[in-house]
Amino acid sequence: MRAFLASLLPIALAACNASQDDGVTDVAIIGTEQGLYTDGLRLPFEGQHLRAATRQGLVALDEQGQVVPAIAERWIVTDDGQSYIFRIREFDFPDGTRLTAQRVRASLDRTRARLEGTTMGLDLAKIRDIRAMTGRVVEIRLHSPMPDLLQLLAQPEMGLVLGEAEVGPMRFTRDGAAADLTPLRPEQRGLPQQPDWDEAVHPLRVYAVDASEATEGFSSGRYDLVLNGRLVDLPLADVGALARGTIRFDSTQGLFGLDIRRANGFLSAPTNREALSMALDRPALIEPFNIGGWIPTTRVVAPGLPNDDGSVPERWIALSIEERRAEATRRVAAWEAQNDAEVSLRLALPDGPGSDILFDQLAAQYGEIGVALVRVGMGDRSELALRDRVARYAGARWFLNQFNCEVSRALCSPDVDFLVELAVESRDPIEQLSYLAEAETAFAAFNGYIPIGAPIRWSLARAEVVGFSENPWNFHPLFPLSRAPM
């Protein structure tokens, strides 16, 4: 997996006020209090992290982003890759009821039904059925092989709901704006008792705050860890003497680019939409942020995924940026002459100093081809809008599902969706990859999205924080921060 190596450029930050030494790890997640306590399955980043701390699934993600056992103590995959068989832990809940395969299956089926009409529902489309084999064995049968199934089952939305029973790994109480989290003892999670457990683990206090409060709180020593930093907030990370911390970049893959929201006027023709994409000097857009090793791309699907066979190349590789801009300028001028109007487009960006920089860069580059940009808010009517999302798994289908006509607010193509459906139904791995490559090529020709490169995610972590690590998914589970073993 190719990943940008921004971790080669950690920013050493000077000492400031000491963090609170009360035995509690204070975590600030950039987001909102409402998002932190979101119910349901449409979870923002902050809600995902609280959900993962309080509801285990069959498997989970550790701090390195690796799949580890959770409710399932082990599993096997059949030779044809179409069946995953899980053996769940054996333990009783405090009310005397037992965790059974039937209860696990029922919870998973309810979750799948509730995820219909979402991108994750599309990602799970290969699941044919879920069966309770015996009291402790659950089988998930697939229409076709799906190497990324475990990664999807580890997502916070797949945490089990078993009535009032706690499945952990942490217990949550709300204290005003803060979520206080305490690890459940091993025996409460179906594991052997561990000596000195209470002395070893640390409780957590989690807040959801805006980026300014998060970085200032880290600087003053209120927070030990800040999560969910994005490009739009990155300039705030340089607030001076951040106490004994470093800025840490995740080597993510995903979608960072511009959605085309409306196919009218200049944007009604795919060739004109292509002009906007071909005119961008992508490395120059990010250069003001001084992030080393960031990977730009002209592709919809991130380059270098495990099954990337190179059949879909980067676009316009035979043309220099000057030649690309000359062609884009010609198309803009031709449209303006034919329509007796200038090309002016509204671009929706989130608030933040990083957005200010990004807009200035985009406006300058598009100005060179004769296109004027007007900045609007994310909720306003616009022709273009920033898409900034980290992939849940390293598969082409995740990228293409984001633009499925059932779920996307951007331009979409039923023909591309059909090709992805054929990939889901195919039992031949080579044929699957061929359909997905064809779908990516078709969507690139449709020009409904202007890719820029990999999403940028950063955190602030003090040296003494245990259980935090950069990883490709920008998912930082809270349980390891308690210093409890997974």
What's the confidence (pLDDT) of residue 243? 41
Q: Are residues 298 and 187 part of one domain?
A: no
Evaluate whether residue 138 is within a structural domain: yes
What's the confidence (pLDDT) of residue 307? 87
Instruction: Work out the average pLDDT over 84-93.
Output: 89
Q: Are residues 291 and 426 part of one domain?
A: yes
Task: Say what the pTM is.
Answer: 0.92
What's the confidence (pLDDT) of residue 4? 38
CB 5 within 8 A of CB 293: yes
Q: How many structural domains does the chain have?
A: 3
Residue whose token pair is 């997996």: 1
Instruction: Work out the average pLDDT over 217-238.
Output: 94
Evaluate whether residue 2 is within a structural domain: no
170 pLDDT higher than 50 = yes
Instruction: Work out the average pLDDT over 41-50.
Output: 96
Count the helix, strand and coil residues of the chain and give each as a percent rounded to the nearest 5.
Answer: 35, 20, 45
Q: Are residues 427 and 338 part of one domain?
A: yes
Evaluate whether residue 26 is within a structural domain: yes
Residue 135 pLDDT grade (very low, low, confident, very high; cuts 50, 70, 90): confident
Residue 245 pLDDT grade (very low, low, confident, very high; cuts 50, 70, 90): low
> How many percent of the chain have pLDDT more than 70?
93
CA proximity to 104, closest of 211, 190, 9: 190
Q: Are residues 43 and 187 part of one domain?
A: yes
CA proximity to 140, closest of 92, 101, 190: 101
What's the confidence (pLDDT) of residue 11? 36
Q: Are residues 428 and 327 part of one domain?
A: yes
- Residue at which a domain ends, from 117, 141, 167: 167
Domain interval for residue 180: 7-55+168-252+456-486
- Residue at which a domain ends, from 151, 167, 183: 167
CB 117 within 8 A of CB 407: yes
DSSP 421: H
User: For 355-401, what is each residue's pLDDT tens digit?
Assistant: 999 999 999 999 999 999 999 999 999 999 999 999 999 999 999 99
Q: What mean pLDDT, rounded, does the chain reach?
A: 91
Q: What is residue 237's three-state secondary structure? A: helix
Q: Are residues 235 and 186 part of one domain?
A: yes
Q: Where are the alpha helices (DSSP H) in 93-210?
A: 101-114, 119-123, 149-153, 197-200
What's the confidence (pLDDT) of residue 1? 38
**More confidently predicted of 163 and 326:** 326
Q: Are residues 288 and 151 part of one domain?
A: no
Q: Are residues 295 and 415 part of one domain?
A: yes
412 pLDDT higher than 90 = yes
Residue 118 pLDDT grade (very low, low, confident, very high; cuts 50, 70, 90): very high
Q: How far apart are CA 186 and CA 322, in angstroms?
A: 62
Number of neighbours of residue 76 by Cβ within 10 angstroms: 9
Evaluate whether residue 354 is within a structural domain: yes
Residue whose token pair is 């769940």: 88
How many Cα atoms are found within 13 Å in the side-chain-facing hemisphere of 411?
23
Evaluate whether residue 289 is within a structural domain: yes
Residue 50 pLDDT grade (very low, low, confident, very high; cuts 50, 70, 90): very high
Q: Are residues 118 and 86 part of one domain?
A: yes
DSSP 411: -
What's the confidence (pLDDT) of residue 16? 38
CB 56 within 8 A of CB 160: yes
Instruction: Work out the average pLDDT over 186-191.
Output: 82
What CATH number corresponds to the domain at position 180? Answer: 3.40.190.10
Instruction: Work out the average pLDDT over 82-106.
Output: 88
Q: How far apart are CA 175 and CA 177, in angstroms?
A: 6
Instruction: Work out the average pLDDT over 17-39.
Output: 85
DSSP 314: P
User: For 282-337, what is each residue's pLDDT tens digit?
Assistant: 999 999 999 988 999 999 999 999 989 889 999 999 999 999 999 999 999 999 99
Evaluate whether residue 1 is within a structural domain: no
Q: Are residues 147 and 266 part of one domain?
A: no
65 pLDDT higher than 70 = yes
Instruction: Work out the average pLDDT over 451-473.
Output: 95
Evaluate whether residue 154 is within a structural domain: yes
5 pLDDT higher than 70 = no
CB 370 within 8 A of CB 329: yes
How many Cα atoms are found within 13 Å in the side-chain-facing hemisphere of 310?
0
Torsion sign over Cα 69, 74, 79, 82: negative
Q: Are residues 306 and 206 part of one domain?
A: no
- Residue at which a domain ends, from 112, 143, 167: 167
User: For 334-365, what is each residue's pLDDT tens digit?
Assistant: 999 999 999 999 999 999 999 999 999 999 99
User: For 273-289, what is each residue's pLDDT tens digit?
Assistant: 999 999 999 999 999 99
CA proximity to 154, closest of 477, 453, 384, 464: 477
Instruction: Work out the average pLDDT over 59-66.
Output: 96
What's the confidence (pLDDT) of residue 51? 96
What CATH number corresponds to the domain at position 432? Answer: 3.10.105.10
What's the confidence (pLDDT) of residue 240? 52
Instruction: Work out the average pLDDT over 239-252.
Output: 70
31 pLDDT higher than 50 = yes
